[in-house]
Amino acid sequence: MSELGVGLIGTGYMGKCHALAFTQVHAVFGDGPVIRLAHLSEVTAELAATRAAEFGFARSGADWRALVTDPEVDVVSVTTPNQFHAEMAIAALEAGKHVWCEKPMATSIDDAVRMRDAVRASGKVAVLGYNYIQSPMVRQIAAILAAGTIGPVNHFRVEMDEDYMADAAAPFGWKSEAASGYGALDDFGVHPVSLIHTLLGRIVRVAGHQSKPYASRPLAAGGSRIVENHDIAAVLCELDTGASGVIALSRSAWGRKGRIALQIFGERGSVVFDQERFNELQLFVADGDPATQGFRTILAAPVHEPYNRFIPSPGHGLGFNDLKVIECHELLRRIAGQPSRTIDFDAGLGIEYAIWAMHESAVTGRWIDVPE
Ligand SMILES: NC(=O)c1ccc[n+]([C@@H]2O[C@H](COP(=O)([O-])OP(=O)(O)OC[C@H]3O[C@@H](n4cnc5c(N)ncnc54)[C@H](O)[C@@H]3O)[C@@H](O)[C@H]2O)c1
């Protein structure tokens, strides 16, 4: 396919990231189809028209169903709140479009299964917005593990923290509604699980705990509303490899802005990475003179593909939106039938099962096996 028409549903935080990624992907990678920004949809026609003018889309409107059936559209980006993902992604697949859907996949296992089944029935490509697996340094961690540099992995820790809900005065929004999901588990937890499943192995058994720092939050229009899900979670995990680990999640961790701190420990060393400083990683290898052993810092450089597609200078660093450009390129490779580093709806369902088990464990107070 030499041309690909894009439909974008939702133009908030992630919608803009998708629009920028589609705009830049051809220039950055120099291959794949020419991208046509065909149709954009928002909650009102006015907002849609404003965003279409800003982002450069040819058509706009308030009817996302018209977007998914538009013959000018070949791939649909779903960047709306979580509770709309299933309905929109399934409708797009049924209309014969490829889908790039933001995480979490859905707000229930039933919906996630229906999405997976819709992809299988359509023969189209559908991938999820797991941008952190696209980081050049995360790919380098995969290469370090594959080379056996730190030996077989026996345990890990991941902390994902931000502070956008740390303030008790932060207004009630859709992320605090039960309809959007469990809270920190599916808002944040899906990202660490995407990294664990990509780098280390499948989570097979979990013990989870959830809590909320504030029982209610103020409404923008006045008054307050009960918080319906949990901003904090902690989970013990066992992997199919026999390794064990801990995941800690918080949307209320003052001072943390975009922390995904990953520590992987093997028989002969360890790797440490933090998304807040994602242009570097720390590697410890237990060899040589113990007196001079220690972590060394590896800075992102052109040798860490696809960093070289953005800039030729080592140590200058990529940004968050560049991860979305890489993710978009992997989507296009998948559509073209080429090898691709993506989390499709099958792998996405595996993440949803892990998150479901974590919540089930938190509710029942028991260890839970993760369904396959
Ligand atoms: N991959 C990541 O790192 C990442 C980061 C943040 C959010 N997300 C995910 O992206 C999704 C969107 O989150 P966000 O932060 O961009 O939210 P947001 O509130 O900034 O944007 C959502 C947009 O969808 C629009 N919308 C809602 N209903 C619609 C409808 N029926 N038709 C068309 N537009 C509609 C809203 O008006 C809004 O502009 C969520 O699923 C979230 O979990 C992913």
Best of 9, 13, 83 to mutate for ligand 1, by most ligand atoms within 8 A of CB? 13
pLDDT at 6 over 70: yes
pLDDT at 1 over 90: no
Helix/strand/coil percent split, the chain, to 5: 40, 25, 35
- Number of residues that this document lists for the chain: 372
49 close to 60: Cβ distance less than 8 angstroms: yes
Residue closest by Cα to atom 3 of ligand 1: 131
Mean pLDDT computed over 65-74? 98
> pTM value?
0.97
pLDDT at 342 over 70: yes
Rounded to the nearest angstrom, the distance between the alpha carbon of 365 and the centre of ligand 1 is 32
Rounded to the nearest angstrom, the distance between the alpha carbon of 102 and the centre of ligand 1 is 8
260 close to 160: Cβ distance less than 8 angstroms: yes
Mean pLDDT computed over 137-154? 98
CA pair distance 91, 97, nearest whole angstrom: 9
Q: CA torsion angle for 37, 40, 45, 51 (degrees, to 10)? A: -70
Nearest Cα to 137, choosing from 325, 317, 333, 341?
317
Token pair, residue 26, equals 């051809």
Residue closest by Cα to atom 7 of ligand 1: 14
List, chain by chain if needed, residues with CB within 6 Å of any ligand 1 atom: 9-15, 41-43, 64, 79-82, 84, 102-103, 129, 131
Q: Tens digit of pLDDT for each residue in 190-240? A: 999 999 999 999 999 999 999 999 999 999 889 999 999 999 999 999 999
Residue closest by Cα to atom 40 of ligand 1: 81
- Percent of the chain exceeding pLDDT 70 equals 100
Mean pLDDT computed over 139-145? 98
Rounded to the nearest angstrom, the distance between the alpha carbon of 13 and the centre of ligand 1 is 6
Best of 14, 67, 128, 322 to mutate for ligand 1, by most ligand atoms within 8 A of CB? 14
